[in-house]
Structure 1
């Protein structure tokens, strides 16, 4: 394994992965654990992944590991509140809107919204990362946007959806 190459790749994407994991999980500690576990899994397979698409692979791991966590903890229902982190984004009002709005979604809907609208992934990329069909991505996205229209229209304004 080329340790320097992996270290450089991981350092370059770790912050964005943490943001994605936090938005998907709603919990900073779990997000940190998800990122650490995902990077460990990528490191073990780096010799195969470095010439393919390690970014997509690591996001797939994040989403699947988070889904496995909430299945184990029977948390498929809407998450009640997102714990406050010690990190203060530049725009705290926007951050509060995002966190409270995403907390209204199921885990599956949250994963689709984060990948589609915050990471600007295509429906196909989102489907590949989540291991589902494009139709499932479309239906989960539609259901999530409908839920946000009713309960969190301020987030739709932020992501440019109506």
Structure 2
């Protein structure tokens, strides 16, 4: 960043942002393997730095500090993704235990289609249809409004219908016992 001056902290942070944002996003991409998450992680890291800017700007190596924040955020994201994959695997393995002859291609198709949904839509569909939660309980679980649950579930089901066909999607809604048995 160069020698420290008595520059306005906001202007100094803006300069730091301009110099390091692309590098931090690239680091996040390389750490997580997720191009679409890289910008979010870099932005989250820079927001955290802004909240501690007095401490960061006094550090010997502010850019190294910023890279450390990105690494920690990436690690948290990876751990969350691993936990989510384990929960999904457990859910599907339990589902399979109760099926006489599982339609493996259909299960794989549904899993793949669910993974392609954005998290909130996926969560709404799974909570509403796999766990048979009410709209209210789903809203409480996710910390969103009932209206958002309704709209996200509806949109998600429309996307699943496009990906899987209307028969398979309606089978998901109508066949809750397959999700939970």
Q: Same fold (TM over 0.5)?
A: no
Q: TM-score, normalised by structure 1?
A: 0.43
**Which structure has the highest helix share of the two?**
2
Q: TM-score, normalised by structure 2?
A: 0.39
Greater RCO structure (CA 8 Å; 6+ sep)? 1
Work out which of the two has the higher radius of gyration on C-alpha atoms and give 1 or 2. 2
